[in-house]
Structure 1
Amino acid sequence: MKQVYQLLNLIIFLFVVQFLGCKKDPPSYPVGSNAYVNSWILDSLRRYYLWNESLPKKINMDQEPQLFFKSLLHANDRFSYMVNPGDPGSLPKSNRNQFGFDYSTLSTADGKLVFAVVKYVYEDSPASRNGLKRGDYISKINGQQLTTANAAELQKQLLTAEKGRLTLAAFENNSLKDIRTVELNKGMLLEQPILRETFRLNAKTIAYLYINDFSPGIAQSAISDFTVLKNENIDALVLDLRYNPGGQVAEAAGIAGLISGLPDDTPFITYTGNKNGGRKTESIGQSASSDGTLQYKQIVENSLKLKQVYILTGTTTASAAEVLINNLKPYVNVVTIGEKTRGKDEASFVIKDMQPLKTVPWEMHPIIYKLSNALGAGDYANGILPQYDVNELEALPLKVLPSLDDPLIQHAIALIEGNRSQDKQRASKRSPLNSLRILTDSRREQTDQDMLHLSN
């Protein structure tokens, strides 16, 4: 089976190379012109794009390529994008890859008090090196006081700047008092490690894992964490995906295998494309090993073989993280706690010029497939609703992860211990700032550029 799957992948790869690099009928436009690039874009989308039948008939081929690409996208397409690796201006931008942190801007109902809350700070990032931490309050960005009118614009400024200045504040009598200023310079962001903790509470051993994203190799690196947890004979696992925007389907399948220990031939995911792409189903072994970073045998040997898992979700939980939730459900009791997820039940792969001497510098990431699990369940474009609706912002200040005072972790442990009285305790600790509403969320607003990639 493995050899057949590898051969199929090779055939697909060679077809893509042939299609993109050796067209039978090259466009009759000057190489390097907008029309030349746009012809390549259009031909590719006609072949692979999920909504290829909706492509317009009359098209202005002289547009700037990125604008041309966007003009072709279906109204329901929130996630396809295109970049030129040689042009930094075309690359997706976010607070996390600029400075290494994410935040939400909050406002009281009357709009008189507006401030930002730092939700996550990446290790060894410009933000962490300048002392920024989860739970910090921000009153000003680049010297401007946050208001309901300028919150979105100040977010855009951070996305496009090489530098940023944050004024941190503390609450005194429900009002903000500035305490210090943090100067940030754009810097390199490294892959984030898995965060692991074990809680021993009332004769139960409860494991906690935070996974930041499903970048290539994360399942391989997680094997050591799962081995430790296996040796600790844990009673339950809490998997924190509240800020996980996705990544590779292979990595999600690998983590699913480490949780469940499913045999490698267990049906895991179905891809449904246009009439050219058709429909195909992969086993968990095929999916997990498809990017070449591990052998599924390693997964089974180190798996926890759990029948139940508690997964923490948020509004930025997306793509591969949602696949993990949805596609474990046929085999494991998945208990979700948090907020409704982003809603990305689709997948893409990279399309680029494969010729030795490239004539097209762009790379497309169009939506190719709709996704479903082994039972045919999918269709969560509006997000996956949690079984237990818990908003982490109900208990400010945010606690450093993992903390037993974090509302999501606290609720998971209450469920594990069968102690529902903690719901009342949680309610009593809610923020004294009533009716807070989110004006901006830096992670959510950039999730559109975090794709669930197929491994060709």
Structure 2
Amino acid sequence: MKLSLFKNILLLSVIGVFLSSCNKDEALPAIDPTSNAAVNRWIIDIMDEVYYWLGDLGTPISEDADPEDYFEALLFRPTDRFSVIYPDYQELINSLNGISLETGYEFILYRESASSDKVFAEITYIKKNSPASAVDLKRGDRIRSINGTLFTVDNFRDVLGLTESTHSLEYTRYDEASNQFVEKPSVTLTPIQLSEDPNFLDTIYTINNEKIGYVIYHFFTPGPGNGSTQFDNEMDAIFGKFKSESIDHLIVDLRYNGGGFVSSAVNLASLIGPGVSTTDIFSKTKYNSFIAEQIPELRDVKTTFKAKAENLGNTLDGNRVYILTSNRTASASELIINGLKPYMDVFLIGNTTTGKNVGSIPFEDEDNPDNKYGILPIVTQSFNSLDQSDYTTGFNPNVVALESAELLLPLGDINEQLLRKAITQITGTTPSGRILKSERLDVASSLDHKIRTGRMIENTIIK
């Protein structure tokens, strides 16, 4: 039914369309609710009303086709790089909230050199209270094989599939005394249903009499389940501490943050923006022409900042925030960058970001319990208060820093490459410490396969 997906507060605006579309649905012949056709009818009903590029919606293929093929045929490729379908809606929602079956380590896959077929997985971080945190694994360890199977450029995707069940890791660790990687005893890990806290680390450094607040945030979600605001509240507390300690500078580390819920992006931006209030616009949201025509409330959507007691105000030196980025910094992370730019100097350190200025909404088939699929179509495009949205190729850093250029140091270590670059910009002095160069070629990352990666999830208007 046209526009029946919208929340009750908008139903009066669309009742005419709602009634006319009922007649269309009633004319369709009955169908087996367990069939592909039932799933595909649901898909086209949604896409035909909310898809951002509605005028370029693809021609449906056979109604009996595999739902993933059917969904793909509708997408406006290559412009649409981000719309996706999942076979299990609940798994989709859990992942967006940081809940998944895993062992708790993330990594980047590197090719040893352009002429080598050898690939290794380098651990980027270990999650708290995970199976990986209970064994001797550290950031910077290099996994050579899983269950005895070595990584190569041809098989690494298949080998990574072994991590979905109990598996052993054969890995090495850099030994500074011998200046080489040495073998460590194999470890065995069993996945658990893990709820990850995106607030990974926060601290305050005092360097050259400058107080520097530093926070690592891995994805945007209010809390671990529906209605929870636990993680947003934790972020509020972090900024409350920063404010009480009167920090002079702020570094926000989003290098591994591929996105998430817009509401948490608004929450974080409201803590950072200099003295912003509920009258200041954080972002503007554009829907397709059909929605804009039928629902006046969605023609000119403006999202304002929140009033936060923990807001840092005008305390940051030079009205500047430092954001650490990578090529996997995406969607809601980029929304933060774009939304803050009209209000302050947003100084980027790292790599060019992904370039995603469009948002998704998760949909499930509430009328058919036999349809377990969930879809995340692109539904919106985001702009800042100056109507700027020109970052489809990503935001370029002010200072380039690639993790692939150095051996990894612990996150939070002032000599860790990206953090070191930020501290140098702030203080004019480079932290002392041994820097170990190590060029390697980025192939892929465990984060690339996270459902939340590259997602900007609108969770305030459409369900």
**Would you say 1:418 and 2:428 are equivalent positions?**
yes
Residues 220-229 or 127-136, more deviating: 127-136
On the 8 A contact 1:98/1:187 being kept in 2, the answer is yes
Given candidates 32, 35, 40, the residue that maps to 1:38 is 40
Task: Report the Cα distance in structure 2 between the residues aligned to 1:88 and 1:231, rounded to whole angstroms.
Answer: 39
Verify: 1:282 aligned to 2:286, yes or no: no
CA distance in 2, matches of 1:438, 1:414: 26
The one-letter amino acid paired with 2:387 is G
Q: 8 Å contact 2:143–2:170 — kept in the other structure?
A: yes
Which residue identity is paired with 2:362?
A: V
SS in 1 for 2:278: coil
Which residue matches 2:165? 162
Q: Could you tell me which residue of structure 1 aligns to residue 255 of structure 2?
A: 242
Shift of 1:400: 1.6
User: Residues 232-283 of structure 1: CA distance to partner in whole angstroms, max 9, x if unpaired?
Assistant: 1111011111111111111111111111231111112122222113343323
For 1:266 and 1:52, locate their aligned partners in 2 and report how far apart those are by CA, in whole Å: 31
- Post-superposition offset of 1:230: 0.7
Contact 1:79–1:448 (8 Å) recurs in 2: no
Question: Counterparts of 1:237-276 in structure 2 under 5 Å?
Answer: 237-260=250-273, 261-276=275-290
Which segment is superposed worse, 111-120 or 46-55?
111-120
**Equivalent-residue separation in structure 1 for 2:92 and 2:303 (angstroms):** 39
State the distance in 2 between where 1:211 and 1:87 align.
24
Instruction: State the one-letter code of the partner of 2:244.
Output: N
Q: How does 1:388-427 map to 2 (within 5 A)?
A: 388-396=399-407, 398-419=408-429, 422=430
Structure-2 residue corresponding to 1:103: 107
Deviation of the 1:206 alpha carbon: 0.6
Tell me by how many angstroms 1:412 deviates: 0.5
Deviation (angstroms), 1:374: 1.0
Counterpart code for 1:199: Y
**1:311 CA displacement:** 0.5
1:28-427 equivalence runs, <5 A: 28-32=29-33, 33-57=35-59, 59-75=61-77, 76-85=79-88, 97-109=101-113, 110-111=115-116, 114-158=119-163, 161-171=164-174, 176-192=181-197, 194=199, 195-216=201-222, 217=229, 218-260=231-273, 261-278=275-292, 279-285=299-305, 296-297=306-307, 299=308, 301-305=309-313, 306=316, 307-355=319-367, 358=369, 360-396=371-407, 398-419=408-429, 422=430
Distance 1:95 1:135 in 2: 24
SS of aligned partner of 1:165: strand
Counterpart Cα distance in 2 of 1:215 and 1:328? 19
Task: Indicate how the Cα distance of structure 1 residues 12 and 72 shifts in structure 2: closer, same or farther if over 3 A, else same.
Answer: same
Against the structure 1 CA distance between its residues 54 and 92, is the aligned structure 2 distance closer, same or farther, given a 3 Å change threshold?
farther
In terms of mean alpha carbon deviation, does 109-118 or 119-128 score higher?
109-118
Match of 1:12 in 2: 10
The alpha-carbon deviation at position 358 of structure 1 amounts to: 4.6
Question: 1:221 Cα shift?
Answer: 2.2
Q: Deviations over 1:164-197 (max 9, x none)?
A: 2211213577765422112111112123152210
Looking at structure 2, the residues matched to 37 and 152 of structure 1 have their Cα atoms a distance apart, in angstroms, of 29
- Structure 1 unaligned spans of 5+: 1-7, 286-295
1:15 to 1:157, Cα distance in 2 relative to 1, 3 A: farther
8 Å contact from structure 2 (residues 89, 364) kept in 1:
no
RMSD of aligned alpha carbons:
3.1
CA-CA distance at 1:202 after TM superposition: 0.9
Rounded Cα–Cα distance in structure 2 between residues aligned with 1:97 and 1:384: 33
SS of the aligned residue for 1:189 comes to strand
Query: Aligned letter for 1:402?
Result: G
* Structure 2 CA distance for aligned equivalents of residues 221 and 273 of structure 1: 32
| 208-217 vs 87-96, greater mean Cα deviation | 87-96
Shift of 1:204: 0.7
CA distance in 2, matches of 1:15, 1:83: 31
- The alpha-carbon deviation at position 106 of structure 1 amounts to 1.9
CA offset digits 1:67-93 (Å, max 9, x no partner)? 311222221222222234378699979
Q: Deviations over 1:44-101 (max 9, x none)?
A: 1011101222223452111122331122222122222223437869997999752222
Aligned length: 426
Secondary structure of 1:50's match?
A: coil
TM-score, normalisation: structure 2: 0.83
Q: Is the 8 A contact 1:267 1:281 kept in 2?
A: no
Q: What is the alpha-carbon distance in structure 2 between the residues aligned to residue 228 and residue 164 of structure 1? A: 41
Q: Deviations over 1:144-175 (max 9, x none)?
A: 122333333322443xx322221121357776
Instruction: Give the C-alpha shift of residue 438 in structure 1.
Output: 1.4
After TM superposition, the structure 1 stretch with the greater mean CA deviation from structure 2, 130-139 or 104-113, is 104-113
Match of 1:289 in 2: none
CA contact (8 A) 1:264 1:283 kept: no
Q: Deviations over 1:3-45 (max 9, x none)?
A: xxxxx9643378799969x944323241413222212211210
1:420-435 correspondence to structure 2 within 5 Å = 422=430, 429-431=435-437, 433=438, 435=439
Change (3 A) 1:200 1:362: same
8 Å CA contact retained: 1:316, 1:342: yes
Cα distance, 1:85–1:150 mapped onto 2, change above 3 Å: closer
- Opposite residue 334 of structure 1, the aligned amino acid is V
Question: Greater shift after overlay, 59-68 or 409-418?
Answer: 59-68
**What is the CA–CA distance in structure 2 between the aligned matches of 1:166 and 1:148, rounded to whole Å?**
18
